[in-house]
Chains A and B, each alone.
Chain A
Amino acid sequence: MGTLVPSQMFDHTLVTVKGPGRLTRLDYHAAPKSGEAIAPGMCASIDSNGEMIAGVPAGAAGNRPMAMFAIQDTDAFDANSDVGNISGGVQSAIVATGGFEVESTEFDSGQTFNPNDLLKDDGGANAGRITLAAVAPYGAVPVIGCVSKGVDTNRDGVDVLSFWTCWLPAGT
């Protein structure tokens, strides 16, 4: 009897269910920071070197990292490749201010998400994972989204969180 469960292409996803079409949407591409692992659907940003990192740190006054959401995995074949291949080296993400409603698999499943709850990056060891902000905007943490439908199970049997992307930078 087999016991292995292979990874599937729908384990980690970001679906833009509403918003600008693919050819005109606001996306951004950058090389991921060395050693960074960003899955599709995670929130992300660029650091001071312009490299993509998991999560959206608060930044400093006058320098607030813009929230984005990864389109593909850092190690997807078109973003990275086996040694000796010339492909890859760049990862892309949609920008939170681009006017999207999205479904992401990368959220804190231990939380209850209600419509209109504000969202933030979980930070620390869970950087990139989306969780409840539970604070007023423009405070200590940047707000990166607002829950629309909440948590649902998609057609592949994977739980996804639906929310509108936005970016309310930290203010203190």
Chain B
Amino acid sequence: MQNLDTRMVNETVVNGLTSDDNAIRKEAQDNVNNYLRLRQREEGFARKFYDVAEVTPNDLDKQVDTPLPVIVKDMEPNSAGAYTVPFGTTPMDSNITAPRYRVMFDRVMSRRYVADVNELLTYDMDIRQIFNDFILKDILGEEDRKFMAVADAITQAAGVNTPTALLACCQWIEAGELNRPNLANAMRGLPSTNRRLNPAAALVNNITIWDIVAMQRDEIGGDLAEELFVNGFTERQIMGIKWIITIKNDLVDDWYMYMFAEPKYLGDFFVLDNVTMSTKHEDFILSFFAYESVGATIANIAGVALAQFTGNPHNWRTGALL
């Protein structure tokens, strides 16, 4: 026997989505979309490293060879430097140039699910939760997968414990076991590059975080040690940065900690089409799928670093053992 309240909610949603009245159908659609967008903000981790901005067609830049949407942005230029001269010396010229980069968009969509409307009425759970479980989690998983593919490509390009010439620093080191001194050393990753950024957020999986919880009173202080022992770890600030924990350990390996710079130094996350549920109703068949269109970058390769809490700790600048 179903929960009567849930059944009434489900009937309302299904009847709204299958209504012949355009106004009712649109209202039901908006309610589902609002629900999904709220969950989207809560459940995807890639967006948490950015100041996510919704863009409109007016924000897009034209290209000659493609009608596809793109946004062209300026990067901060390098200055030519100042120098000391004796009196009477004229300045050297330097052209004003600055790099630009493109933010490109594609579409992420779910599969199209098809059901007899009466089948949707037999679930003993909120039908919007079914939409969430069937559709939104997959979309967010894909968003996070693509974000991590770029983060991995950047941090692992040179190999572990290997400095890159461009940044004069490693972007991926073995950091030793996870304890307070090694964690503090790991935090030196971004500031050690020649762009000298500070980490603003860290990303670990739900396995690695238990090594933080296991830290003793002499490592993280009495109150925090007690609270973590009693309540476990929730999203919080440690060592001045925001810790984000994901259950997606297929994307974030055990003992890996990614560090990200502040959003303004990291890149962009533009939403061209917010997640939208498309529904179609013919007779007693309801089909639905969801889609979104986003463009995101890690435009500054110095904005991300990876510490792997295995082996022995290494020096970020040289890659040598500490």
Question: Would you call A85 and B297 a contact (CB within 8 A)?
Answer: yes
Q: Which of A76-119 contact B (CB under 8 A)?
A: 76-79, 81-82, 84-89
Contact for B65 among A9, A78, A84, A88, CB less than 8 A: A9
Taken together as a complex, chains A and B put the C-alpha atoms of A87 and B150 apart, in Å, by: 10
A2 CB-CB contact with B under 8 Å: no
Contact for B296 among A6, A77, A85, CB less than 8 A: A85
A7 CB-CB contact with B under 8 Å: yes
Contact for A82 among B46, B104, B143, CB less than 8 A: B104
Question: Would you call B267 and A77 a contact (CB within 8 A)?
Answer: no
Contact residues in B for A86 (Cβ distance below 8 Å): 46, 143, 146-147, 149-150, 294-298
Q: How far is the CB of A38 from chain B (nearest CB, A)?
A: 16
Query: Does more than half of chain A's interface fall in helix, strand or loop, or is it mixed?
Result: loop
Which of A7, A77, A79, A82 counts the most chain B CB atoms within 10 A?
A77
A34 CB-CB contact with B under 8 Å: no
**Chain B residues within 8 Å of chain A by Cβ, number:** 29
Taken together as a complex, chains A and B put the C-alpha atoms of A7 and B64 apart, in Å, by: 7
Question: Would you call B68 and A84 a contact (CB within 8 A)?
Answer: no
Contact residues in A for B103 (Cβ distance below 8 Å): 85
Q: Which of B79-112 contact A (CB under 8 A)?
A: 101-107
Q: How far is the CB of B28 from chain A (nearest CB, A)?
A: 21
Given contacts A77-B104, A78-B106, A78-B107, contact A85 B65 (CB under 8 A): no
Query: Does more than half of chain B's interface fall in helix, strand or loop, or is it mixed?
Result: mixed
Contact for A77 among B46, B70, B294, B298, CB less than 8 A: B70
Question: Would you call B104 and A9 a contact (CB within 8 A)?
Answer: no
**Chain A residues within 8 Å of chain B by Cβ, number:** 17
Question: Would you call B298 and A84 a contact (CB within 8 A)?
Answer: yes
Taken together as a complex, chains A and B put the C-alpha atoms of A106 and B296 apart, in Å, by: 32
Contact residues in B for A63 (Cβ distance below 8 Å): none
Listed from nearest, the 5 A-B pairs whose CB atoms lie closest are A86-B146, A81-B104, A7-B65, A78-B106, A87-B106
Q: How far is the CB of A52 from chain B (nearest CB, A)?
A: 16
B67 CB-CB contact with A under 8 Å: yes
Contact residues in A for B70 (Cβ distance below 8 Å): 77
B56 CB-CB contact with A under 8 Å: no
A sample of 11 inter-chain contacts (CB < 8 A) reads: A9-B65, A78-B105, A78-B106, A84-B154, A84-B299, A85-B104, A85-B296, A86-B143, A87-B106, A87-B146, A87-B295
Given contacts A78-B107, A82-B102, A88-B106, contact A9 B146 (CB under 8 A): no
Closest residue of chain B to A24, judged by CB?
B112
0/1 per residue, B294-319, Cβ < 8 Å to A? 11111101000000000000000000
Given contacts A84-B301, A86-B297, A87-B146, contact A78 B104 (CB under 8 A): yes
Q: Write the residues of chain B forming the contact surface with A, with a CB cutoff of 8 angstroms.
A: 46, 64-70, 101-107, 143, 146-147, 149-150, 154, 267, 294-299, 301
A49 CB-CB contact with B under 8 Å: no
Q: Which of A1-34 contact B (CB under 8 A)?
A: 6-9, 11
Contact for B68 among A6, A76, A82, CB less than 8 A: A76
Taken together as a complex, chains A and B put the C-alpha atoms of A73 and B107 apart, in Å, by: 16
Taken together as a complex, chains A and B put the C-alpha atoms of A7 and B63 apart, in Å, by: 10
Taken together as a complex, chains A and B put the C-alpha atoms of A107 and B101 apart, in Å, by: 35
Taken together as a complex, chains A and B put the C-alpha atoms of A7 and B65 apart, in Å, by: 5
Taken together as a complex, chains A and B put the C-alpha atoms of A77 and B150 apart, in Å, by: 16
Contact residues in A for B298 (Cβ distance below 8 Å): 84, 86
Question: Would you call A87 and B65 a contact (CB within 8 A)?
Answer: no
Question: Would you call B105 and A8 a contact (CB within 8 A)?
Answer: no
Question: Would you call A8 and B64 a contact (CB within 8 A)?
Answer: yes
Question: Would you call B105 and A77 a contact (CB within 8 A)?
Answer: yes
Contact residues in B for A81 (Cβ distance below 8 Å): 102, 104, 106
Contact residues in A for B154 (Cβ distance below 8 Å): 84
Question: Would you call A85 and B64 a contact (CB within 8 A)?
Answer: no
Question: Would you call B107 and A84 a contact (CB within 8 A)?
Answer: no
Q: How far is the CB of A94 from chain B (nearest CB, A)?
A: 17
Question: Would you call A78 and B299 a contact (CB within 8 A)?
Answer: no
Question: Would you call B150 and A85 a contact (CB within 8 A)?
Answer: yes
Contact for A84 among B66, B69, B267, CB less than 8 A: B267
Q: How far is the CB of B296 from chain A (nearest CB, A)?
A: 5
